[in-house]
A and B are shown apart, each in its own frame.
Chain A
């Protein structure tokens, strides 16, 4: 079985972002970029499934500008077998990304597609669900705990983090799984693996190759900063705190 993993290059999670003065977006120039943390977890899970003997190949795919190749190299250094870079200059909506992944799946025929549950830049949490819909495959979103595959690889058992706690589903393969925080701890790429990754292939593809039309039904009108909270005070004792909560804020 082949596993396809989609990985996104995003602003690093620790960066304090700045909204551009012209309100067209967030400033990403000269800012540290990394693989989306949820995508790292997705890739890690795919690698573990391969290492457990349930998959033959892990293919990482990234969609975007030339720098996505760096993200793919990180994925290859972690252990992916090969990469696919779909060139795209503008920032596509999740539905277009989903259509690209669907086209790739039609070509590659994976038994599983792993995605992070959301990208920490747009926080959309849509792409995995949409890929599953377009392929007509079942989905298991917000996966936590270990995904166990049946010996004949016909279905996977997934624990999901839901509002009330944890839910367990069994999904027929092929399926789409999106990963949540606690699924695993991604490995660091070791130096020997980083060196090995340099000779692993990254195939370049275009939207024309995949016969995908760009869907543009959402316009960004403007991006702004949220309203700032009034600055608070430091109190010096529990008594003072209770007094403020009672007599100033009126919350107790």
Chain B
């Protein structure tokens, strides 16, 4: 159902970013999205939209106000209905906010949150979104990967409504912030915000890994294992090596399907996209779909018994050998993490 069928003229250079937060702070991918917004145009104002409930939301808002000098405003929607990021109330919220003020661009990161919600927002606004943007060439021209990253598509948005984008955050790294600036924080008046009483979704629960290891999407080092690891027990070798190098653990689809590791470790076209300084793949053959997730890594190392494995065609350094011998040797000989 369209909320507003006639698009009001959008003001120039005002960007709304759907922010993600956890335990009282803004997630790294939201800051990357702010960096991306800077590429849209010079005098862009950037507003962060945070929704949730209670004290952790307000803490996150406070932290968001100084997370990047480009942020001019933090909008806060504090209500129980936003306790979990469900697409239906969130999309309605974005449209509600947009009706108070026009935005030329509406952005989110290409996380499962952004991918779930932003296309719904776009359809409510009757605009075509551009998803998984890796390069911004101007306020309405973008590059996005297609065919598992084997081709790049340069597109131009020519519509009248806001330009809706999801950003691949590995393409917009955050550089250390030297300037400190605090944006204004405004609580959104939700008294007129109405949601459908019928036709809803409800959060039931989640199972997430509690780990001290760095987040896959932003880790400097990623160590990945394939199905050749053969068991959950053997995968611990990958974890040990990741720990030694201060890295995150990744896995191929085959390893996840085989049950060696949980799904959130999957790297690839439909899993996580990573771009670490060092990517090491053990027992990974190098299927097109896996390579899609690692192409922007600075250095790729592959260890595989099969000299013809496709992974060797993208690896900077390849070692043809048995991972069950190589990993212990690496553990023994590698210097401790910096």
Chain A residues near B (Cβ < 8 Å): 11, 13-14, 16-17, 19, 26, 93-95, 98, 117-118, 120-127, 129-142, 144, 157, 160-172, 174-175, 180-182, 215-226, 229-239, 241-242, 244-246, 249, 251-252
Whether A241 lies near B128 (C-beta < 8 A) is no
The minimal Cβ–Cβ distance linking A184 to chain B, given in whole angstroms, is 12
Selected from A171, A222, A238, the residue in CB contact (under 8 A) with B329 is A238
The complex places the Cα of A244 from the Cα of B334 at a distance, in Å, of 12
The chain B residue with its CB closest to the CB of A145 is B263
Interface SS majority for chain A: mixed
Whether A251 lies near B317 (C-beta < 8 A) is no
Selected from A14, A19, A162, the residue in CB contact (under 8 A) with B112 is A162
Whether B116 lies near A123 (C-beta < 8 A) is no
The complex places the Cα of A243 from the Cα of B115 at a distance, in Å, of 41
- B116-140: CB near A (< 8 Å → 1, else 0) gives 1111111110111111100000000
Whether B317 lies near A126 (C-beta < 8 A) is no
The complex places the Cα of A231 from the Cα of B312 at a distance, in Å, of 9
The chain B residue with its CB closest to the CB of A231 is B313
Selected from A137, A226, A229, the residue in CB contact (under 8 A) with B316 is A229
25 examples of A-B residue contacts, CB within 8 angstroms: A94-B128, A95-B126, A95-B127, A118-B270, A120-B148, A129-B116, A139-B120, A140-B201, A141-B115, A142-B115, A163-B113, A164-B209, A165-B263, A166-B262, A169-B202, A171-B200, A218-B159, A219-B155, A221-B156, A223-B146, A226-B150, A241-B301, A245-B317, A251-B277, A252-B278
Q: Given the interface contacts A136-B196, A138-B88, A217-B157, does A182 sit within 8 Å of B111 by beta carbon?
A: no
Selected from B112, B217, B314, the residue in CB contact (under 8 A) with A229 is B314
Whether B124 lies near A126 (C-beta < 8 A) is no
Identify which of B2, B119, B277, B313 gathers the most chain A CB atoms within 10 Å of its CB.
B119
The minimal Cβ–Cβ distance linking A200 to chain B, given in whole angstroms, is 31
